[in-house]
Amino acid sequence: MEEKQEHHIIVRARTFVLVWTALVILTAVTIKAAEMRMGEWSMLANLLIASTKASLVLWFFMHLKYEKKIFKMLFLVPIATITIIIGMTFFDIWYR
């Protein structure tokens, strides 16, 4: 019966339209941030905005918000893997 409960969560269309609006606004913000020519900071700003957008898509559109805990935990595995690989590679490049 647990199964039934879980799959009858119906998210209102309004929520999705709001998320979409936020995504479009963030796209405009990221273009403006790039135009401001803040050097390395604009790179950081763009990546932060992209990650915010990606999180919105994952959390709402991909239903991660409404999934069991195991889905949320498992998602950290590829993210941690990539972070470690990129981090270690950069340590190699910087201190070579």
Partner 1 sequence: MTETAHIEHRDYTGAKLGMWLFLFTEILLFGGMFLLYSIYRTTYTADFHEAAKEMSVTIGAINTVILLTSSLTMVLSIAAIKQGAKARSLVLQAATVILGGVFLLNKYFEWTEHIRHGYYPDSPELLAMGHGKVLYFGLYYVMTGIHGIHVLIGAGIICFTFILTMRGVVTDKDYIKLENTGLFWHLVDVIWIYLFPLFYLIT
Chain positions contacting partner 1, by CB under 8 A: 3, 6-8, 10-11, 13, 16-17, 19-20, 23-24, 27, 30-31, 33-34, 42-43, 46-47, 49-50, 53-54, 57-58, 60-63, 67-68, 70-71, 74-75, 77-79, 81-82, 85-86, 89-90, 93
C-beta of 40: minimal distance to partner 1 in Å?
9
DSSP 40-83: HHHHHHHHHHHHHHHHHIIIIIT-GGGS-HHHHHHHHHHHHHHH
C-beta of 94: minimal distance to partner 1 in Å?
9
Rounded to whole angstroms, the Cα distance separating 45 from 58 reads 20
Q: Would you say 1 or 79 has its CB closer to partner 1?
A: 79
Q: In 10 A of CB 53, how many CB atoms?
A: 19
